[in-house]
């Protein structure tokens, strides 16, 4: 969880330095979206454990 959050922060910072609509920008946007989904799944599973 901590490593994913750190990678997400670094990726978003890197995203802010790239030109919009470049290949690197588009690839990094997709990567950030996947990282957000990964963190969401982890948090959602932890929430289900907490509720149960």
- pLDDT tens per residue across span 20-50: 999 999 999 999 999 999 999 999 999 999 8
Provide the number of structural domains found in the chain: 1
pLDDT of the residue at 12: 96
Which residue segment(s) compose the domain that 9 sits in?
2-51
Mean predicted confidence (pLDDT) in 8-25: 96
> Stretch 7-27: mean pLDDT, rounded?
96
Helix (H, G, I), strand (E, B), or coil: what is residue 1? coil
Given a cut of 80, whether residue 15 has pLDDT beyond it is yes
pLDDT of residue 6: 93
Residue given tokens 């990567």 in the structure block: 31
Distance CA 7, CA 13 (A): 10
The DSSP code sequence of 17-52 is: HSPTTSHHHHHHHHHHHHHHHHHHHHHHHHHHHHH-
d(CA 49, CA 20): 40
């Amino acid at each position: 969880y901590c490593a994913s959050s750190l990678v997400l922060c670094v990726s978003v910072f890197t995203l802010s330095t790239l030109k919009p609509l470049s290949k690197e920008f588009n690839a990094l946007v997709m990567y950030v979206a996947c990282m957000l989904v990964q963190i969401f799944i982890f948090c959602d599973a932890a929430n289900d454990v907490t509720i149960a």
